[in-house]
Chain A
Amino acid sequence: MSSSAIFVLDLEGEVLICRNYKGDVDMAEIDRFLPLLMQHEEEGLLCPVLSHGKVHFMWIKHSNLYLVSTTNKNSNASLVYSFLYKIVEVFTEYFKELEEESIQDNFVVVYELLDELMDFGFPQTTDSKILQEYITQEGAKLEVGKSKVPTTVTNAVSWRSEGIKYKKNEVFIDVIESINVLVNANGSVMSSDIVGSIKLKTMLSGMPELRLGLNDRVLFGLTGRDKGKTVVMEDVKFHQCVRLSRFDSDRTISFIPPDGESELMSYRINTHVKPLIWIESVIEKFSHSRVEIMVKAKGQFKKQSVANNVEVRVPVPSDADSPKFKTSTGQAKYVPEKNMVVWTIKSFPGGKEFLMRAHFGLPSVENNELEGKPPVTVKFEIPYFTVSGIQVRYMKIIEKSGYQALPWVRYITQSGDYQLRTNV
């Protein structure tokens, strides 16, 4: 179905740890993986699926590790990649960081986890919070011999255990919107969209039933209410705790939340938004002598709002030298290893306009290597504000013990994939 075996390799292709699930692919085949990868990379044909004879390798890379799944069947490829990323997530929650050292330092737990995460190529329990209830790093705990399968593992609610208790019942809701923009060299916006995400930090006792109300236009259309601004969500994705069929029938977002932090939902909005920070750049390259850069940044959002930690990253040729900067605000810094100038503005009020000039020398001997045309990228964060205007109307919390709980909501807008192409 999916994986015959899972391998964790270091960057030299050495197996750090592996688990054979099905036994239908020779475990020695993994030795071919890295040479194959190298060969594809050299030919410029790098691909997430590699094959050698009848063996197919599906792989991802994480820090200094390769996670590889082998198969000789017509596996469900999307399941395999989802699963590999899930492994990364689980291991990261267990070991803080997933890297070569953490695998070696915890090999006993890693084996236990691999045993629990997948059986005969079928992914099983992959919720790290639940796994942590019966697979722990301190072996001592288990020695009592008392450990039981948490009923949660096979429950319909497989993401939350029973018997959770908090003195103060609270839930924190973060609404985070990321702006993706692609602007052409001539200044026209090629594509822009908003990817929103609603994150929860749940500190609630027992098994609470939650209902989240948003100013969703479809919902308002269904219920016939039409007050104030509504938002059209192009596509919505939910955490597995949300009852999808209920949402499908009456747009109600109802769920029993996982304990602690989780991403409840994400959504995509296609409405064309004005790029919040507009960049005009003029990059003039005088071969063999110098590069002159002029960047103008303009805050195209409400005057009351302030963008924090704004970073405008401007590409420069790899052989540029002796940087000189002049800025109307903030600081510019040359980062040679990334071939860019980073202009940082700690606080950028809406409606304002700032300027940065940079001057670089170029060697008289020209660099023969062709260089790409990296775009200008921008990073920023604007608190207390969502571009789409999405709002949490209510969060109803009902638990059979009848406690009162408080929801806290916070809005942030930030840059996502924010690229402006240059003409050099």
Chain B
Amino acid sequence: MTDSKYFTTTKKGEIFELKAELNSDKKEKKKEAVKKVIASMTVGKDVSALFPDVVNCMQTDNLELKKLVYLYLMNYAKSQPDMAIMAVNTFVKDCEDPNPLIRALAVRTMGCIRVDKITEYLCEPLRKCLKDEDPYVRKTAAVCVAKLHDINAQLVEDQGFLDTLKDLISDSNPMVVANAVAALSEIAESHPNSNLLDLNPQTINKLLTALNECTEWGQIFILDCLANYTPRDDRESQSICERVTPRLSHANSAVVLSAVKVLMKFMEMLPKDLDYYGTLLKKLAPPLVTLLSAEPELQYVALRNINLIVQRRPEILKHEMKVFFVKYNDPIYVKLEKLDIMIRLASQANIAQVLAELKEYATEVDVDFVRKAVRAIGRCAIKVEQSAERCVSTLLDLIQTKVNYVVQEAIVVIKDIFRKYPNKYESVIATLCENLDSLDEPEARAAMIWIVGEYAERIDNADELLESFLEGFHDESTQVQLQLLTAIVKLFLKKPTETQELVQQVLSLATQDSDNPDLRDRGYIYWRLLSTDPVAAKEVVLAEKPLISEETDLIEPTLLEELICHIGTLASVYHKPPSAFVEGSRGVQHKRLPGSAGSGESVESPDPGAAATETPPAVIPSQGDLLGDLLNLDLTPTTTTGPPPPTTSGMQMGAMDLLSGGLDSLLGGDIGGNPAMGAAFGAAPATMPASFNAPGSGGLDDLFDLGGGVGMPMGALNPPKAVWLPAMKAKGLEISGVFVRRAGVIQMEMTLTNKAMSVMTDFAIQFNRNSFGLAPAGPLQILTPLSPNQSIEPLNNLQVAVKNNIDVFYFSCQYPISMLFVEDGKMERQVFLATWKDIPNDNESQFQIKDCHLNSDAASNKLQSSNIFTIAKRTVEGQDMLYQSMKLTNGIWVLAELRVQAGNPNYTVSSVALAIGPIINQNGFENGFTNQAL
């Protein structure tokens, strides 16, 4: 007779029936009924309605029945907290039962009932059980403290249970010690600062004694707890290691891994010249290898950990390459991990064997595995220089197989090999080019394009090859587009005569037809570089690249140290610190390996060849970095004197740069009517789109007003419009415009002229993201169709895309920085003075404004109308010094000193930008704008 019969009652009146049976006088019937209830619970039916009836069965001398009722209680107490109180009396009584099995059962179940009201009734029974004569009850009570702490930490502290728990570490029974340690560790984990486990040599000794006697699980609890201890010196460290090493012979893999964790950590403190240190290293290898005969899941955990251990102490497993060879029937996750470790262990001594294996794997059928195997061959080439040639020829063999994903993967790694050994293996390029058509994955296409661009001078038809990619430019992924852009620019710099058209084409594709800001920015940078200074362009684009190294895929040393402290845990499996995936662990201290004893120096890796801790690995600069470098170059303001201080952030640099141009145009514009003010960014030639959008600044919804006809304040600057979009580029639509600030609102005035033959309608406008978060306040309102040769004006608003019935046109225009000066930019005198002094000299930039024939007062008034406020003025040696402040819409304050010498038309401006309030904080931006618009 089996229990399955209890699952069969599915009638409608079931609950009623059960109720009757539960209240039956016959013991046997009662028990059968409870079993039926539990069966229903198991299959997910809600039987909580029977709560009182089931609890009534609790008082029984039948242990099996009692267990079932307890089980029911654990499941439903939370949903019936009031009724759960009914059970308290029985619990209390059961905790005093003569049978220890029942006492333990009661205290175990009590802790699982997570109802606040009940907890306080449980304190007395728990206190008794913690001092019970039977170790079975004590060990159960120890765990119950952790349970109670989870429900009500304060209560546990107030009741002094933590101290009792600490006392249990000295219990005579090893099982009790183990559970007490487990409970304390659990509590300490959720309260990192509680100093609960204040481990000292005495307690450590007790733990080490219990280690020899308790169950395999208890050994794990104790070892995991030991791993948190930091020995006082190398001698203590050694004596703990000596007592832990026997655990390496335990049959349970988890015990072994926990022991490895303790040893790996404490080993850090041992002097490297100590004999014992060498002995310990030798003792670690065999158990690690044996872990590979465990069940596949345990193998997986072991392999992930071995991966860490090999990085930290490569000498342990350096002779064990063979055990990581992949077996045909290994699960895929084991295969992939083994492969990774094989590469890490690859050295000149074993490379031949490794390569033979990798080649074997590359002909398997599992796509992911094959890919990784091909990639591994490339990594070997980079890691073991002597093997590079053999690796390359192996890769070429694989390319001959014409298996699509193998070819693509091979090309990706060959690119890296070129980076590591320039001018050595270029003879294979021809073979690679033969496979151009079969590449359909972005990474492989990008790699191939890189190769063509990099070796353009050796490939006769490089232009044709690249041109063929260009046809489908817009369908390519960003990775490929960026690579193609760079490759064509390289080609142009190497063979300028035949490729001018091609480079024009790709630049316009990148800058005008793309929505991707990265691509566009890179396009503009190349464009400017090429048009201003081809020599500089050559230096930048064709600069010698740093060699890549094998170490790029190593785990960052501090993370590695932390992960070593977490051997065996999920963190070591994920290769992520616990804070990355465990909620509420942010405040928890990151575990670190202890420093080596005596010297107090940081830990030295004994093998200098693989010393990840000493030399920070050279990392291939990503494309982003390269772009960053170029941007930095560009940002050097041409009008400032002296190089920009390296400490200033890009944001501040930008602000200063803008400022110089802004002032220039403000002052100059009124006086000379200088039409070239659009070139506020300094040296940008007129033919170039002169705007640079700082990448990555947040696009914000800002409030702008459309009201165009608001009266201008007296003396406000009214510069002439400039042509932003010539008719040639926009199928007949010409746009000219200007920015002005009126009544605290930034406005963009545009004149749209139809120079085409047909009528234009359906106008719309959109801005791209920009540094100051400007955006149109309303739609472009052009009600009447624009007939040929008609122009409309004025129109309010700013920047990039204008759409009509014909097409979407992109252009960029410069808004003078003065637009962004807000009305409340007048700084308190005292604040100004204090701030001015506090600013480091590095932040300062200087430039001159030429041909300005105003005296200082007139200039001051003029500037004030543009929200540049004069705070103070003093006269020194015939020079008027005006101290001025302005505030940008994003809350950046700019302070300036304007030096005016009577009779000299040139003004000297020293300016500094500083951020008051968060620059990058989005709210700051928004508030700034909202306040001002209101």
Q: Which chain B residue shows the least CB distance to A48?
A: B297
- Complex contact B213–A156 (CB within 8 A): yes
In the assembled complex, the Cα of A230 lies from the Cα of B164 at a distance in Å of 52
Residues of the B chain whose Cβ atoms lie less than 8 Å from the Cβ of A337: none
B333 touches which one: A47, A104, A143 (CB < 8 A)?
Answer: A47
Interface hit among A235-243, A282-290, A326-334, A397-405: A235-243
Q: Which chain A residue shows the least CB distance to B248?
A: A235
A112 interfacial by beta-carbon distance below 8 Å: yes
- Complex contact A245–B42 (CB within 8 A): no
Residues 225-268 of chain B, each 1 if its beta carbon lies under 8 Å from chain A, else 0: 00000000000000000010111011111101110000000000
- Complex contact A112–B250 (CB within 8 A): no
- Complex contact B38–A148 (CB within 8 A): no
Residues 23-34 of chain A, each 1 if its beta carbon lies under 8 Å from chain B, else 0: 110000000000
- Complex contact A46–B61 (CB within 8 A): no
B2 touches which one: A1, A105, A417 (CB < 8 A)?
Answer: A105
Residues of the A chain whose Cβ atoms lie less than 8 Å from the Cβ of B101: 134, 147-149
In the assembled complex, the Cα of A142 lies from the Cα of B293 at a distance in Å of 41
B146 touches which one: A71, A83, A120 (CB < 8 A)?
Answer: A120
Q: Knowing A115-B108, A120-B143 touch, does A77 contact B568 (C-beta < 8 A)?
A: yes
Q: Which residues 101-146 of B have a CB within 8 angstroms of A?
A: 101, 104, 108, 111-112, 114, 134-136, 139-140, 143, 146
Shortest distance from the beta carbon of B160 to any chain A beta carbon, whole Å: 20
B331 touches which one: A1, A46, A72, A263 (CB < 8 A)?
Answer: A46
Residues 69-97 of chain A, each 1 if its beta carbon lies under 8 Å from chain B, else 0: 00111111111011111000000000000
In the assembled complex, the Cα of A72 lies from the Cα of B150 at a distance in Å of 14
- Complex contact A111–B68 (CB within 8 A): yes
B357 interfacial by beta-carbon distance below 8 Å: yes
A244 touches which one: B221, B246, B583 (CB < 8 A)?
Answer: B246
- Complex contact A243–B64 (CB within 8 A): no
Interface contacts (Cβ under 8 Å), in number, total 267
- Complex contact B286–A268 (CB within 8 A): yes
Q: Knowing A1-B182, A1-B186 touch, does A119 contact B108 (C-beta < 8 A)?
A: yes
Shortest distance from the beta carbon of A63 to any chain B beta carbon, whole Å: 15
In the assembled complex, the Cα of A239 lies from the Cα of B356 at a distance in Å of 39
Q: Knowing A126-B217, A243-B212, A245-B246 touch, does A78 contact B2 (C-beta < 8 A)?
A: no
B220 touches which one: A79, A145, A421 (CB < 8 A)?
Answer: A79
Residues 348-359 of chain A, each 1 if its beta carbon lies under 8 Å from chain B, else 0: 000000000000
A38 interfacial by beta-carbon distance below 8 Å: no
Residues of the B chain whose Cβ atoms lie less than 8 Å from the Cβ of A126: 215-217
In the assembled complex, the Cα of A143 lies from the Cα of B31 at a distance in Å of 11
In the assembled complex, the Cα of A142 lies from the Cα of B67 at a distance in Å of 12
- Complex contact B217–A154 (CB within 8 A): no
In the assembled complex, the Cα of A315 lies from the Cα of B256 at a distance in Å of 38
Residues of the A chain whose Cβ atoms lie less than 8 Å from the Cβ of B387: none
Q: Which residues 6-46 of A have a CB within 8 angstroms of B?
A: 15-17, 20, 22-24, 44-46
Residues of the B chain whose Cβ atoms lie less than 8 Å from the Cβ of A56: 570, 581
In the assembled complex, the Cα of A373 lies from the Cα of B328 at a distance in Å of 8
In the assembled complex, the Cα of A74 lies from the Cα of B567 at a distance in Å of 11
B62 interfacial by beta-carbon distance below 8 Å: yes
- Complex contact A119–B253 (CB within 8 A): no
A108 interfacial by beta-carbon distance below 8 Å: yes
Q: Knowing A111-B68, A154-B135 touch, does A182 contact B327 (C-beta < 8 A)?
A: yes
Residues of the A chain whose Cβ atoms lie less than 8 Å from the Cβ of B274: none
Residues of the A chain whose Cβ atoms lie less than 8 Å from the Cβ of B68: 108, 111
- Complex contact A154–B258 (CB within 8 A): no
Q: Knowing A72-B582, A73-B582 touch, does A158 contact B215 (C-beta < 8 A)?
A: yes
- Complex contact B212–A244 (CB within 8 A): yes
Q: Which chain B residue shows the least CB distance to A185?
A: B360
B735 interfacial by beta-carbon distance below 8 Å: no
A22 touches which one: B150, B293, B295 (CB < 8 A)?
Answer: B150
In the assembled complex, the Cα of A383 lies from the Cα of B251 at a distance in Å of 26
- Complex contact B286–A23 (CB within 8 A): no
Q: Knowing A78-B301, A122-B182, A421-B360 touch, does A147 contact B570 (C-beta < 8 A)?
A: no
Residues 195-236 of chain A, each 1 if its beta carbon lies under 8 Å from chain B, else 0: 100000000000000000000000000000000000000111
- Complex contact A76–B258 (CB within 8 A): yes
A279 interfacial by beta-carbon distance below 8 Å: no
B364 interfacial by beta-carbon distance below 8 Å: yes
In the assembled complex, the Cα of A244 lies from the Cα of B252 at a distance in Å of 13
A375 interfacial by beta-carbon distance below 8 Å: yes
B332 interfacial by beta-carbon distance below 8 Å: yes
A263 touches which one: B111, B189, B251 (CB < 8 A)?
Answer: B251
Shortest distance from the beta carbon of A112 to any chain B beta carbon, whole Å: 6
Q: Which residues 347-374 of A have a CB within 8 angstroms of B?
A: 370-374
Q: 7 more A-B contacts (CB under 8 A) besides A76-B258, A195-B293? A: A77-B573, A107-B6, A124-B139, A142-B63, A154-B135, A190-B353, A243-B212
